[in-house]
Amino acid sequence: MSTQVTEQETETEEQSSHQRRRLEEKAERAASRDRMRERAENDLDEADTTFTLKVFRYDPEIPEKEEPRFDTFEVPFTKGMTVLDSLMYARDHYDSSLTFRHSCRQAVCGSDALFVNGTQHLGCKTQVVDLGDDGGVPGEIRVEPLPHQEVVKDLVVDMEHFYDQMEAVEPYFDADELPDGMEEQRQTRENREKIKMSSRCIWCGACMSSCNVAAGNNEYLGPAAINKAYKFAMDEREGENRKQERLEIIEQEHGVWRCQTQFSCTEVCPKDIPLTEHIQELKREAVKNNLKFW
Protein backbone atom coordinates (compact mmCIF):
# COMPACT_ATOMS: atom_id res chain seq x y z
CA MET A 1 0.00 0.00 0.00
CA SER A 2 2.58 2.47 1.07
CA THR A 3 4.87 1.67 -1.89
CA GLN A 4 2.05 2.47 -4.27
CA VAL A 5 1.66 5.90 -2.80
CA THR A 6 5.35 6.61 -3.26
CA GLU A 7 5.23 5.45 -6.89
CA GLN A 8 2.31 7.70 -7.58
CA GLU A 9 4.01 10.57 -5.94
CA THR A 10 7.17 10.13 -7.98
CA GLU A 11 5.13 9.90 -11.11
CA THR A 12 3.34 13.17 -10.50
CA GLU A 13 6.61 14.71 -9.54
CA GLU A 14 8.17 13.49 -12.76
CA GLN A 15 5.23 14.67 -14.72
CA SER A 16 5.28 18.10 -13.25
CA SER A 17 9.01 18.44 -13.80
CA HIS A 18 8.46 17.33 -17.37
CA GLN A 19 5.73 19.88 -17.77
CA ARG A 20 7.84 22.53 -16.20
CA ARG A 21 10.59 21.70 -18.66
CA ARG A 22 8.17 22.00 -21.60
CA LEU A 23 6.96 25.33 -20.34
CA GLU A 24 10.49 26.58 -19.95
CA GLU A 25 11.34 25.46 -23.45
CA LYS A 26 8.30 27.23 -24.80
CA ALA A 27 9.20 30.41 -22.97
CA GLU A 28 12.77 30.13 -24.20
CA ARG A 29 11.58 29.84 -27.75
CA ALA A 30 9.20 32.73 -27.47
CA ALA A 31 11.94 34.85 -25.94
CA SER A 32 14.37 33.82 -28.65
CA ARG A 33 11.89 34.72 -31.35
CA ASP A 34 11.12 38.04 -29.69
CA ARG A 35 14.77 38.93 -29.48
CA MET A 36 15.28 38.23 -33.17
CA ARG A 37 12.23 40.24 -34.10
CA GLU A 38 13.31 43.03 -31.85
CA ARG A 39 16.69 43.16 -33.48
CA ALA A 40 15.04 43.27 -36.88
CA GLU A 41 12.79 46.11 -35.71
CA ASN A 42 15.80 48.00 -34.47
CA ASP A 43 17.58 47.44 -37.75
CA LEU A 44 14.52 48.62 -39.63
CA ASP A 45 14.29 51.76 -37.49
CA GLU A 46 17.91 52.57 -38.00
CA ALA A 47 18.04 51.83 -41.70
CA ASP A 48 17.63 54.67 -44.13
CA THR A 49 15.93 52.42 -46.60
CA THR A 50 14.08 49.15 -46.42
CA PHE A 51 12.54 46.92 -49.03
CA THR A 52 10.14 44.03 -49.23
CA LEU A 53 11.41 40.59 -50.04
CA LYS A 54 8.69 38.45 -51.52
CA VAL A 55 9.67 34.81 -51.44
CA PHE A 56 8.13 31.67 -52.88
CA ARG A 57 7.33 29.07 -50.23
CA TYR A 58 6.52 25.39 -50.62
CA ASP A 59 7.03 22.28 -48.56
CA PRO A 60 5.26 19.06 -49.51
CA GLU A 61 5.27 17.93 -45.90
CA ILE A 62 3.93 20.95 -44.10
CA PRO A 63 0.16 21.46 -44.37
CA GLU A 64 0.36 25.27 -44.53
CA LYS A 65 3.00 25.11 -47.24
CA GLU A 66 1.67 22.26 -49.35
CA GLU A 67 0.01 24.83 -51.53
CA PRO A 68 2.74 27.11 -52.87
CA ARG A 69 2.47 30.65 -51.52
CA PHE A 70 4.49 33.84 -51.24
CA ASP A 71 5.72 35.26 -47.94
CA THR A 72 6.93 38.81 -47.54
CA PHE A 73 9.71 40.04 -45.29
CA GLU A 74 10.73 43.62 -44.57
CA VAL A 75 14.50 43.91 -44.93
CA PRO A 76 16.69 46.87 -43.92
CA PHE A 77 19.01 47.83 -46.76
CA THR A 78 22.74 48.07 -46.16
CA LYS A 79 25.33 49.18 -48.69
CA GLY A 80 26.62 46.37 -50.86
CA MET A 81 23.70 44.10 -49.96
CA THR A 82 23.03 41.25 -52.35
CA VAL A 83 19.85 39.28 -52.89
CA LEU A 84 21.47 36.37 -51.04
CA ASP A 85 22.28 38.65 -48.09
CA SER A 86 18.67 39.68 -47.90
CA LEU A 87 17.48 36.07 -47.92
CA MET A 88 19.89 35.25 -45.12
CA TYR A 89 18.67 38.25 -43.20
CA ALA A 90 15.06 37.13 -43.51
CA ARG A 91 15.93 33.59 -42.47
CA ASP A 92 17.99 34.61 -39.45
CA HIS A 93 15.53 37.24 -38.19
CA TYR A 94 12.05 36.13 -39.20
CA ASP A 95 11.77 32.51 -40.23
CA SER A 96 14.51 29.94 -39.77
CA SER A 97 12.68 27.47 -42.01
CA LEU A 98 13.23 29.66 -45.08
CA THR A 99 15.23 27.33 -47.31
CA PHE A 100 17.68 28.02 -50.13
CA ARG A 101 21.05 26.64 -51.22
CA HIS A 102 24.11 28.81 -50.79
CA SER A 103 27.69 28.42 -49.73
CA CYS A 104 30.55 30.46 -51.19
CA ARG A 105 28.85 33.91 -51.34
CA GLN A 106 31.18 34.76 -54.22
CA ALA A 107 29.81 33.26 -57.43
CA VAL A 108 32.03 30.20 -57.53
CA CYS A 109 29.97 27.38 -56.04
CA GLY A 110 26.93 27.77 -58.27
CA SER A 111 24.46 26.95 -55.48
CA ASP A 112 22.16 29.93 -55.59
CA ALA A 113 20.80 30.41 -59.08
CA LEU A 114 17.34 31.86 -58.45
CA PHE A 115 14.51 33.46 -60.36
CA VAL A 116 14.71 37.09 -59.24
CA ASN A 117 12.09 39.50 -60.54
CA GLY A 118 11.46 37.16 -63.40
CA THR A 119 15.03 36.45 -64.52
CA GLN A 120 17.69 33.90 -63.63
CA HIS A 121 20.32 35.39 -61.32
CA LEU A 122 22.90 34.18 -58.84
CA GLY A 123 21.63 35.51 -55.53
CA CYS A 124 25.10 36.26 -54.20
CA LYS A 125 26.17 38.13 -57.32
CA THR A 126 23.11 40.34 -57.59
CA GLN A 127 23.24 43.70 -55.84
CA VAL A 128 19.91 44.82 -54.47
CA VAL A 129 20.44 48.28 -55.97
CA ASP A 130 20.86 46.78 -59.42
CA LEU A 131 17.23 45.73 -59.26
CA GLY A 132 15.86 49.19 -58.55
CA ASP A 133 15.45 52.04 -61.00
CA ASP A 134 18.64 54.03 -61.59
CA GLY A 135 20.64 52.39 -58.87
CA GLY A 136 18.05 53.00 -56.17
CA VAL A 137 16.75 50.43 -53.72
CA PRO A 138 13.68 48.74 -55.19
CA GLY A 139 10.45 48.67 -53.21
CA GLU A 140 10.05 44.96 -53.67
CA ILE A 141 12.13 42.01 -54.83
CA ARG A 142 10.43 38.78 -55.84
CA VAL A 143 12.45 35.59 -55.45
CA GLU A 144 11.34 32.26 -56.85
CA PRO A 145 13.00 28.91 -57.51
CA LEU A 146 14.45 28.28 -60.97
CA PRO A 147 11.62 27.63 -63.42
CA HIS A 148 11.38 24.34 -65.33
CA GLN A 149 12.86 22.36 -62.49
CA GLU A 150 11.02 20.45 -59.84
CA VAL A 151 10.79 22.34 -56.57
CA VAL A 152 11.99 20.37 -53.55
CA LYS A 153 11.19 23.04 -50.99
CA ASP A 154 10.98 26.85 -51.00
CA LEU A 155 13.81 27.98 -53.33
CA VAL A 156 15.52 24.59 -53.59
CA VAL A 157 15.06 22.77 -56.89
CA ASP A 158 15.95 19.23 -57.86
CA MET A 159 19.25 19.38 -59.79
CA GLU A 160 19.40 15.68 -60.70
CA HIS A 161 18.26 16.19 -64.27
CA PHE A 162 20.84 18.92 -64.80
CA TYR A 163 23.59 16.66 -63.43
CA ASP A 164 22.43 13.76 -65.61
CA GLN A 165 22.70 15.92 -68.71
CA MET A 166 26.18 17.03 -67.69
CA GLU A 167 27.24 13.42 -67.27
CA ALA A 168 25.75 12.43 -70.61
CA VAL A 169 28.49 14.29 -72.49
CA GLU A 170 31.27 12.27 -70.80
CA PRO A 171 32.51 15.33 -68.99
CA TYR A 172 36.08 14.34 -68.30
CA PHE A 173 39.41 14.84 -69.97
CA ASP A 174 40.42 11.72 -71.80
CA ALA A 175 43.47 12.14 -74.02
CA ASP A 176 44.21 9.72 -76.83
CA GLU A 177 47.72 9.44 -75.45
CA LEU A 178 49.67 10.88 -72.58
CA PRO A 179 53.36 11.72 -72.25
CA ASP A 180 55.41 9.64 -69.84
CA GLY A 181 56.12 10.41 -66.24
CA MET A 182 56.85 14.02 -65.43
CA GLU A 183 56.51 15.21 -69.02
CA GLU A 184 53.67 17.73 -69.51
CA GLN A 185 51.28 17.83 -72.42
CA ARG A 186 51.95 20.97 -74.39
CA GLN A 187 49.16 23.40 -75.07
CA THR A 188 49.46 26.66 -76.95
CA ARG A 189 48.37 29.85 -75.30
CA GLU A 190 45.85 30.38 -78.08
CA ASN A 191 44.29 27.02 -77.44
CA ARG A 192 44.11 27.61 -73.71
CA GLU A 193 42.52 30.99 -74.47
CA LYS A 194 40.01 29.29 -76.75
CA ILE A 195 38.71 27.00 -74.02
CA LYS A 196 39.02 29.59 -71.26
CA MET A 197 35.46 30.87 -71.18
CA SER A 198 33.95 27.42 -71.55
CA SER A 199 35.94 26.20 -68.57
CA ARG A 200 34.40 28.78 -66.23
CA CYS A 201 31.04 27.04 -65.81
CA ILE A 202 29.99 26.61 -62.17
CA TRP A 203 27.06 24.24 -62.82
CA CYS A 204 24.47 26.69 -61.52
CA GLY A 205 21.76 25.64 -63.95
CA ALA A 206 20.60 29.17 -64.79
CA CYS A 207 21.08 28.62 -68.52
CA MET A 208 19.12 25.39 -68.60
CA SER A 209 16.28 27.00 -66.69
CA SER A 210 16.09 29.90 -69.12
CA CYS A 211 16.02 27.71 -72.22
CA ASN A 212 12.67 27.23 -73.94
CA VAL A 213 13.90 24.24 -75.85
CA ALA A 214 15.03 22.48 -72.68
CA ALA A 215 11.70 23.33 -71.06
CA GLY A 216 9.81 21.60 -73.84
CA ASN A 217 12.17 18.68 -74.37
CA ASN A 218 13.46 16.92 -71.32
CA GLU A 219 16.07 15.04 -73.27
CA TYR A 220 17.78 18.04 -74.81
CA LEU A 221 21.34 18.12 -73.47
CA GLY A 222 21.03 21.83 -72.78
CA PRO A 223 23.54 24.68 -72.98
CA ALA A 224 25.71 23.82 -69.97
CA ALA A 225 26.34 20.24 -71.04
CA ILE A 226 27.03 21.22 -74.62
CA ASN A 227 29.41 23.90 -73.38
CA LYS A 228 31.16 21.24 -71.31
CA ALA A 229 31.54 19.11 -74.43
CA TYR A 230 32.90 22.17 -76.23
CA LYS A 231 35.59 22.58 -73.58
CA PHE A 232 36.94 19.10 -74.29
CA ALA A 233 36.32 18.97 -78.02
CA MET A 234 38.28 22.18 -78.49
CA ASP A 235 41.14 21.21 -76.21
CA GLU A 236 44.03 20.29 -78.50
CA ARG A 237 45.49 18.05 -75.82
CA GLU A 238 42.83 15.39 -76.18
CA GLY A 239 43.52 14.34 -79.77
CA GLU A 240 41.51 13.70 -82.93
CA ASN A 241 39.98 10.34 -82.04
CA ARG A 242 38.44 11.59 -78.87
CA LYS A 243 37.22 14.73 -80.58
CA GLN A 244 35.50 12.53 -83.13
CA GLU A 245 33.65 10.68 -80.38
CA ARG A 246 32.73 13.93 -78.70
CA LEU A 247 31.22 15.34 -81.84
CA GLU A 248 29.15 12.20 -82.21
CA ILE A 249 27.71 12.72 -78.75
CA ILE A 250 26.68 16.32 -79.25
CA GLU A 251 25.34 15.59 -82.68
CA GLN A 252 22.82 13.03 -81.52
CA GLU A 253 19.10 13.63 -81.70
CA HIS A 254 18.92 15.75 -78.55
CA GLY A 255 22.18 17.57 -79.04
CA VAL A 256 23.30 20.77 -80.74
CA TRP A 257 20.77 20.75 -83.56
CA ARG A 258 17.96 21.36 -81.09
CA CYS A 259 19.31 24.78 -80.20
CA GLN A 260 17.22 27.53 -81.78
CA THR A 261 19.77 30.28 -81.09
CA GLN A 262 17.48 32.29 -78.84
CA PHE A 263 20.44 33.48 -76.72
CA SER A 264 18.47 33.27 -73.47
CA CYS A 265 21.17 31.05 -71.92
CA THR A 266 23.93 33.46 -72.88
CA GLU A 267 22.00 36.34 -71.37
CA VAL A 268 21.59 34.76 -67.96
CA CYS A 269 24.94 32.99 -67.54
CA PRO A 270 26.58 34.56 -64.47
CA LYS A 271 30.03 33.64 -65.76
CA ASP A 272 29.46 35.40 -69.09
CA ILE A 273 30.10 32.28 -71.10
CA PRO A 274 29.13 32.80 -74.77
CA LEU A 275 27.01 29.66 -74.75
CA THR A 276 25.10 30.22 -77.95
CA GLU A 277 28.32 30.94 -79.80
CA HIS A 278 29.85 27.75 -78.51
CA ILE A 279 26.84 25.75 -79.60
CA GLN A 280 26.97 27.33 -83.05
CA GLU A 281 30.64 26.58 -83.37
CA LEU A 282 30.06 22.95 -82.49
CA LYS A 283 27.36 22.79 -85.15
CA ARG A 284 29.90 24.01 -87.70
CA GLU A 285 32.49 21.53 -86.46
CA ALA A 286 29.98 18.75 -86.79
CA VAL A 287 29.17 19.73 -90.35
CA LYS A 288 32.84 19.95 -91.29
CA ASN A 289 33.40 16.62 -89.71
CA ASN A 290 30.57 14.92 -91.52
CA LEU A 291 31.80 16.30 -94.85
CA LYS A 292 35.16 14.79 -94.12
CA PHE A 293 33.60 11.35 -93.76
CA TRP A 294 31.22 11.73 -96.67
Partner 1 sequence: MYEHDVIVVGAGGAGLRAAIAAHEEGADVALVSKLHPVRSHTGAAEGGINAALRDGDDWTDHAYDTMKGSDYLGDAPAIETLCETSPEEVIQLEHWGMPFSREDDGRVSQRPFGGLSFPRTTYAGAETGHHLLHTMYEQVVKRGIKVYDEFYVMDLAVTDEPDPEDRECHGCVAYDIKSGDVVGFEATNGVVLATGGDGQAFDHTTNAVANTGDGPAMAYRAGAPVEDMEFVQFHPTTLPSTGVLISEGVRGEGGILYNAEGERFMFEGGYANNAGELASRDVVSRAELTEVNEGRGVEDEYVYLDMRHLGEERITDRLENILHLAEDFEGVDGLTEPMPVKPGQHYHMGGIETNEHGETCVSGLYAAGECACVSVHGSNRLGGNALPELIVFGARAGYHAAGRDYGEALVETGPSVAIEHEDDLGAPVEPGALGPADEDVAADGGEAAPDGGELLNPSATVERTAERCRQRVEELKSREGRNHAEIRQKLQKAMTRWVNVFREEEGLKKALEVIKECREEYRNVAVSDPSSTYNTDLIHTIETRNLIDVAETMTLSALARNEFRGAHWRKEHQKRKDDEWLKHTMVQWSDGSPEIYYTDVILEGAEKAYEPKVRSY
Binding site for ligand FES (CB under 6 A): 102-105, 107-112, 122-124
For the bound state, the minimum distance from the C-beta of residue 284 to ligand SF4, rounded and expressed in Å, comes to 20
Give the Cα separation of 104 and 127 in Å (integer). 16
> 168, 225 in Cβ contact below 8 A?
yes
Nearer to partner 1 among residue 64 and residue 253 (C-beta): 64
> 166, 224 in Cβ contact below 8 A?
yes
Three-state secondary-structure class, residue 19:
helix
- Give the residues lining the site for ligand SF4 (CB under 6 A): 201-207, 223-224, 227, 268-271, 273, 275
Give the Cα separation of 98 and 10 in Å (integer). 42
Amino acid at 234: M
For the bound state, the minimum distance from the C-beta of residue 206 to ligand FES, rounded and expressed in Å, comes to 10
- For the chain, what is the radius of gyration of the CA atoms? 27
Nearer to partner 1 among residue 69 and residue 192 (C-beta): 192
Nearer to ligand FES among residue 123 and residue 222 (C-beta): 123
Give the one entry of partner 1, ligand FES, ligand SF4, none that residue 206 binds, where binding means its C-beta sits below a cut-off of 5 to 8 angstroms depending on kind: ligand SF4
Give the Cα separation of 217 and 259 in Å (integer). 11
If one asks whether residue 62 binds partner 1 (CB under 8 A), the answer comes out as yes
Nearer to partner 1 among residue 205 and residue 255 (C-beta): 205
Give the one entry of ligand FES, partner 1, ligand SF4, none that residue 213 binds, where binding means its C-beta sits below a cut-off of 5 to 8 angstroms depending on kind: none
Footprint on residues 265-284 left by partner 1 (CB under 8 A): none
Q: Which residues contact 208 (CB under 8 A, 6 or more apart)?
A: 148, 149, 162, 165, 214, 222, 223, 224, 265
Q: Which residues contact 222 (CB under 8 A, 6 or more apart)?
A: 162, 165, 207, 208, 211, 214
The HSE-up count of residue 55 (CA atoms within 13 Å, CB side) is 29
For the bound state, the minimum distance from the C-beta of residue 293 to partner 1, rounded and expressed in Å, comes to 26
Nearer to ligand FES among residue 81 and residue 109 (C-beta): 109
Biggest alpha carbon distance in the chain?
Answer: 102
The window from 113-121, 122-130, 214-222, 278-286 that contacts partner 1 (CB under 8 A) reads: 122-130
For the bound state, the minimum distance from the C-beta of residue 255 to partner 1, rounded and expressed in Å, comes to 19
Number of residues that bind partner 1 (CB under 8 A): 77
Give the one entry of ligand FES, ligand SF4, partner 1, none that residue 185 binds, where binding means its C-beta sits below a cut-off of 5 to 8 angstroms depending on kind: partner 1
Give the one entry of ligand SF4, ligand FES, partner 1, none that residue 151 binds, where binding means its C-beta sits below a cut-off of 5 to 8 angstroms depending on kind: none
